[in-house]
Homo-oligomer: A and B are copies of this chain.
């Protein structure tokens, strides 16, 4: 497989997390790394089959599980989708805006919740580690219709 500049990041991450650099693992990471939308296991499975090599769906699930545990990949669930979604973890959390009509998912980098977390910690006594924010609406294209 051709190793481009932008692939070094996840290859390094693989190595430093003690995981073997296998063909399947590598294509899986490449797909997620270059994808702006979270994908489900089956989508990843078909992409690897089409573009790279024959692979088994359980291999995809097993690799996703390992990569999630090592923190390289994040697992997501959205209401209305029975399948879990996965994305490359670019460090620094992100939020999502989902189109109710066409189901397109767009990523939002800015997070408005830092100060809110502090006030909520005081209010509830929780020690807050993370949060998940998803917005729902109609994307510009679907909104026209």
Residue among A75, A77, A78 having the largest count of chain B Cβ atoms under 10 Å:
A77
Chain A, residues 28-66, CB within 8 Å of chain B (1/0): the string is: 000000000000000000000000000000000000000
Report chain B residues within 8 Å CB of A135. 117, 120, 126, 128, 130-131
Q: Which residues of B contact A100 (CB under 8 A)?
A: 129
Interface positions of A from 90 to 145, Cβ below 8 Å from B: 97, 99-100, 106, 108, 112-113, 116-117, 120-121, 124-140, 143
User: Any chain B CB within 8 A of the CB of A79?
Assistant: yes
Beta-carbon contact of B129 and A136 below 8 Å: yes
Please report the total number of A residues contacting B with Cβ < 8 Å: 36
Given contacts A75-B80, A129-B138, 19 further A-B pairs with CB under 8 A are: A76-B79, A77-B78, A79-B132, A97-B120, A97-B124, A99-B126, A108-B120, A112-B116, A120-B135, A125-B139, A126-B143, A127-B138, A128-B135, A128-B137, A129-B137, A130-B136, A131-B135, A132-B133, A133-B134
10 contacts across the A-B interface (CB closer than 8 A): A79-B84, A97-B120, A106-B124, A106-B126, A108-B120, A120-B135, A126-B135, A130-B136, A132-B132, A132-B133
